[in-house]
């Protein structure tokens, strides 16, 4: 890919970033968009709507930057939880790594690559028309003694990363310990979930649980609750909660419209009285459903509570039966973290669902190779002219070719990747997890490895084969040819970092989808008395993106160090923007107490393997 194509992509995405930031700084000050840009501040009562017009609202400002920068880690811990701290520590970890790697890569490795003549000499007078390959390790002459600098850099970065991982592991561990010591005892910490409970003839699930735990744990066992199918009751309870919130909203806002026109003759209805009667009806229906549930067939699962946390932990870690499929135990989630729709109490049911999810993930990975191959075809202009000869006259235009090869491939790939996190979250939900946090962690792992295999490996090798089909025909020279074509993929990954990194992070600040939904709601909704919904950050979408860019930087910093400045810009944007979002937008709905860090730690131990493969 030519330098001109990369610069075109950088120019387009930089303009989009500036546009998003400017629009955000204006719309954030408009009272009608407070629900989109500061929903957390509204619900916490830290911000109120201003009805008086002010010209200052229409002028872009940077007042949000100092507030985001000054946010301390202790303030974030108290307001957004330990998961938010771990998320931001992941970003700062990558910033530290690539600041150090950037010094080595830009000031040491890049001049060595530019001094080589393996591909051709760099024409600095016409740098715009040079290929980006001349800035990679491929341009270093064969047998050159300068290669020892690259190998030394690999070991230096490896040692630095290992030191940072050791330091961060100790830091996060201390934060987790402090979190558990400072938090008050919660009911779920004294409780475990027991599945696949064997029931003898003539007895119930409750009798089996009672007799089992009073016999084997008489000193610590306290009580139990049998799990039953209560989807209809839960639906009624959710409707009642929503109505109750509407009533509180109407009562707390004196200026709120408390009457509504209904019917053909536009009869006025008192909303307070209307919602009160509906709430009473829902309460009666819920009681009827609860009485029917008590007579329904039990599931072979129960929540078992103990007198001490040590007792609950002991039972959780011990095998309860000689049959490993009976009396299966797991930690009970927080009450607001429970997820029931795909709950299964049987061992076989969960095992089959996990097998189906594995098959579905494999099929999705294979199907995703289609857009990856198409994207790689777009990056190779000569190959594109062979595939579509009727486009040859259009592709000869300089600006069109720069857009097609520099911007369009990464944009297409980014749009296809948008659908992956929701799919992985759904697949994780049908595996039988009982909590939202477990589903999110499972989806995070799935999205991460899907991205690594389909974007990193599939892109590298599909692009290599498309660029040089002779690789397959001449197996003896595969290592030598891959050493040339694999670094050449750095140009595509630079464009991908700029598009999927810079622009996506800026759009996170601008919140395009919530803004569109808000505009549609205002145009179509009859009333606006619903309570503002405060979103939680989708860790299963954002953590894999950060880790994937970290993987790109670690794998390519010595192959093509020119990628490092673009990564540093991305991590700087992510650092300041997500701090702002934690202040104004996102609020935690559940807490895993930093359990996302092992995902980060385990992936960052991969660099030595990549180094050995590259060598």
In the chain, the percentage of residues whose pLDDT exceeds 70 is: 74
Please indicate, yes or no, whether residues 58 and 117 belong to a single structural domain of this protein.
yes
DSSP for 396-439?
TSHHHHHIIIIIHHHHHHHHHHTTHHHHHHHHHHTTT--BHHHH
Domain for residue 164, yes or no? Answer: yes
Please indicate, yes or no, whether residues 322 and 244 belong to a single structural domain of this protein.
yes
Is the per-residue pLDDT at 148 higher than 90? no
Please indicate, yes or no, whether residues 485 and 602 belong to a single structural domain of this protein.
yes
CA 191 to chain centroid: 29
- pLDDT for position 575: 94
Provide mean pLDDT across the span 425-448.
91
- pLDDT for position 439: 92
Length of the chain: 615
Domain for residue 541, yes or no? Answer: yes
Please indicate, yes or no, whether residues 75 and 116 belong to a single structural domain of this protein.
yes
Instruction: Tell me which residue range forms the domain holding 108.
Output: 3-180+478-614
pLDDT band at 143 (very low <50, low <70, confident <90, very high): confident
Pick from 306, 330, 350: which residue ends a domain?
350
Please indicate, yes or no, whether residues 140 and 207 belong to a single structural domain of this protein.
no
Q: Which tokens sit at 593? A: 């107490």
Is the per-residue pLDDT at 35 higher than 80? yes
Domain for residue 457, yes or no? Answer: no
Pairing of strands 191-195, 328-331: antiparallel
- pLDDT for position 121: 60
Q: Write the pLDDT tens digit of every residue in 236-273.
A: 666 777 777 666 766 665 544 555 544 444 455 566 66
Q: How many CA atoms lie within 13 A of 198 on its CB side?
A: 10
Q: Write the pLDDT tens digit of every residue in 60-112.
A: 888 889 999 999 999 999 888 899 999 999 999 999 999 999 999 899 988 88
Q: DSSP letter for 500, please.
A: I
Domain for residue 308, yes or no? Answer: yes
Separation of alpha carbons 111 and 93, rounded Å: 27
Report the first-to-last Cα separation within the chain, whole angstroms. 24
- pLDDT for position 612: 39
Q: Write the pLDDT tens digit of every residue in 203-217.
A: 888 889 999 999 999
Q: Write the pLDDT tens digit of every residue in 295-305.
A: 455 678 899 99
In Å, how far are 36, 43, 225, 404, 469 from 24, measured between CA atoms? 10, 20, 49, 29, 47
Domain for residue 116, yes or no? Answer: yes
Is 265 strand, coil or helix? coil
Please indicate, yes or no, whether residues 204 and 284 belong to a single structural domain of this protein.
yes
In Å, how far are 197, 479, 489, 512 from 486, measured between CA atoms? 54, 10, 6, 35
Pick from 350, 370, 397: which residue ends a domain?
350
In contact, 224 and 210? CB cutoff 8 Å: yes
Domain for residue 378, yes or no? Answer: no
- pLDDT for position 383: 56
Is the per-residue pLDDT at 56 higher than 80? no
Q: How many folded domains does the chain comprise? A: 2
CB atoms within 10 A of CB 208: 20
Separation of alpha carbons 243 and 258, rounded Å: 14
- pLDDT for position 346: 80
- pLDDT for position 101: 92
Is the per-residue pLDDT at 407 higher than 90? no
pLDDT band at 118 (very low <50, low <70, confident <90, very high): low
Q: Which tokens sit at 600? A: 């980060």
Separation of alpha carbons 552 and 567, rounded Å: 9
In contact, 365 and 450? CB cutoff 8 Å: yes
Separation of alpha carbons 236 and 215, rounded Å: 38
pLDDT band at 180 (very low <50, low <70, confident <90, very high): confident
Please indicate, yes or no, whether residues 21 and 51 belong to a single structural domain of this protein.
yes
In contact, 192 and 303? CB cutoff 8 Å: yes
Provide mean pLDDT across the span 148-152.
88
- pLDDT for position 136: 80
Question: Which runs of E-coded beta strand occur in 46-171?
Answer: none
Provide mean pLDDT across the span 193-222.
89
Where is pLDDT greater, at 9 or 448? 448
In contact, 509 and 576? CB cutoff 8 Å: no
**Among 544, 555, 548, which residue's Cα sits nearest to residue 87?**
544
Q: Write the pLDDT tens digit of every residue in 358-388.
A: 999 999 988 888 877 777 666 555 555 555 5
Q: DSSP letter for 361, please.
A: H
Please indicate, yes or no, whether residues 34 and 104 belong to a single structural domain of this protein.
yes
DSSP for 119-152?
S----GGGGGGSBGGGGSGGGSPTT-TTHHHHHH
In Å, how far are 230, 385, 535, 536, 582 from 588, measured between CA atoms? 26, 51, 8, 5, 9
Is the per-residue pLDDT at 21 higher than 80? yes
Write the secondary structure of 480-522 as one string of H (helix), E (strand) and C (coil).
HHHHHHHHHCHHHHHHHHHHHHHHHHHHHHHCHHHHHHHHHHH
- pLDDT for position 340: 81
Pick from 288, 322, 350: which residue ends a domain?
350
Please indicate, yes or no, whether residues 43 and 167 belong to a single structural domain of this protein.
yes
Separation of alpha carbons 459 and 471, rounded Å: 16
Q: Token match 């307001």: residue?
A: 79
Please indicate, yes or no, whether residues 16 and 163 belong to a single structural domain of this protein.
yes
Provide mean pLDDT across the span 426-441.
90
Please indicate, yes or no, whether residues 228 and 106 belong to a single structural domain of this protein.
no
Domain for residue 387, yes or no? Answer: no
Please indicate, yes or no, whether residues 87 and 145 belong to a single structural domain of this protein.
yes
- When mean pLDDT is compared over 457-471, 491-505, 575-589, the highest value belongs to 575-589
Where is pLDDT greater, at 87 or 455? 87
**Among 185, 163, 31, which residue's Cα sits nearest to residue 97?**
163
**Residue 588: exposed, middle, or buried by beta-carbon count in 10 A (0-12, 13-18, 19+)?**
middle
In contact, 548 and 450? CB cutoff 8 Å: no
Separation of alpha carbons 507 and 512, rounded Å: 6
Average pLDDT, the chain: 80
Is the per-residue pLDDT at 570 higher than 90? yes
Domain for residue 608, yes or no? Answer: yes
């Amino acid at each position: 890919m030519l330098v001109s194509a990369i610069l075109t992509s950088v120019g387009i995405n930089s303009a989009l970033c500036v546009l998003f930031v400017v629009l955000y700084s204006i719309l954030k000050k408009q009272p009608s968009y407070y629900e989109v840009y500061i929903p957390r501040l509204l619900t916490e009562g830290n911000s109120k709507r201003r009805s008086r017009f002010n010209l200052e609202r229409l002028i872009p400002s940077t007042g949000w930057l100092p507030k985001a920068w000054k946010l301390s880690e202790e303030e974030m811990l108290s307001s957004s939880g330990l998961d938010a701290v771990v998320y931001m520590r992941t970003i700062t970890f990558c910033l530290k790594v690539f600041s150090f790697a950037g010094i080595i890569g830009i000031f040491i490795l890049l001049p060595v690559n530019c001094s080589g003549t393996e591909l051709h000499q760099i024409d600095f007078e016409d740098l715009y028309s040079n290929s980006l390959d001349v800035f990679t390790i491929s341009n270093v002459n064969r047998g050159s003694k300068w290669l020892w600098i690259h190998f030394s850099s690999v070991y230096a970065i490896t040692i630095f990363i290992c030191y940072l991982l050791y330091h961060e592991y100790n830091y996060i561990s201390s934060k987790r310990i402090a979190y558990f010591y400072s938090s008050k005892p919660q009911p779920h910490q004294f409780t475990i979930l027991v599945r696949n409970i064997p029931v003898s003839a003539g007895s119930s699930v409750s009798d089996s649980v009672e007799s089992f735990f009073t016999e084997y744990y008489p000193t610590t066992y306290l009580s139990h609750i049998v799990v039953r199918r209560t989807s209809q009751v839960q639906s009624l309870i959710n409707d009642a909660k929503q109505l109750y919130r509407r009533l509180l909203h109407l009562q707390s806002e004196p200026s709120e419209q408390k009457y509504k026109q209904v019917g053909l003759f536009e009869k006025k209805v008192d909303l307070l009285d209307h919602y009160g009667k509906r709430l009473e009806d829902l309460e009666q229906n819920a009681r009827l459903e609860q009485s029917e549930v008590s007579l329904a067939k039990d599931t072979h699962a129960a929540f078992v509570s103990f007198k001490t946390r040590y007792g609950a932990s002991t039972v959780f870690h011990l095998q309860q039966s000689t049959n490993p499929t009976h009396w299966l135990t797991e930690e009970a989630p927080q009450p607001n973290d429970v997820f029931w729709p795909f709950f299964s109490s049987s061992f076989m049911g969960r095992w089959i669902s996990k097998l189906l999810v594995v098959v579905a993930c494999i099929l999705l990975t294979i199907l995703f190779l289609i857009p990856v191959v198409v994207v790689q075809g777009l990056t190779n202009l000569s190959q594109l002219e062979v595939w579509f000869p009727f486009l040859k006259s259009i592709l000869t235009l300089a600006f069109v070719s720069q857009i097609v090869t520099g911007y369009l491939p990464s944009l297409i790939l980014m749009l296809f990747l948008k659908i992956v996190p929701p799919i992985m979250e759904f697949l994780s939900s049908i595996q039988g997890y009982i909590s939202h946090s477990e589903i999110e962690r499972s989806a995070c792992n799935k999205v991460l490895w899907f991205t690594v295999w389909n974007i990193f490996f599939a892109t590298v090798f599909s692009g290599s084969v498309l660029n040089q089909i002779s690789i397959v025909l001449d197996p003896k020279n595969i290592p030598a040819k891959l050493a040339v074509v694999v670094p050449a993929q750095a140009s595509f990954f630079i464009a991908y970092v700029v598009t999927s990194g810079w622009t996506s992070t800026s759009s996170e600040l601008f919140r395009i989808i919530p803004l569109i939904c808000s505009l549609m709601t205002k145009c179509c909704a009859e009333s606006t008395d619903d309570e503002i919904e405060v979103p939680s950050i989708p860790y299963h979408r954002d953590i894999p993106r950060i880790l994937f860019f970290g993987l790109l930087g670690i794998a390519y910093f010595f192959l093509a160090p020119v990628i490092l400045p673009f990564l540093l810009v991305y991590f700087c944007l992510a650092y300041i923007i997500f701090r702002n979002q934690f202040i104004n937008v996102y609020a935690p709905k559940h807490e895993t107490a930093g359990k996302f860090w092992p995902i980060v730690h385990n992936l960052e131990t991969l660099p030595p393997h990549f180094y050995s493969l590259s060598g």
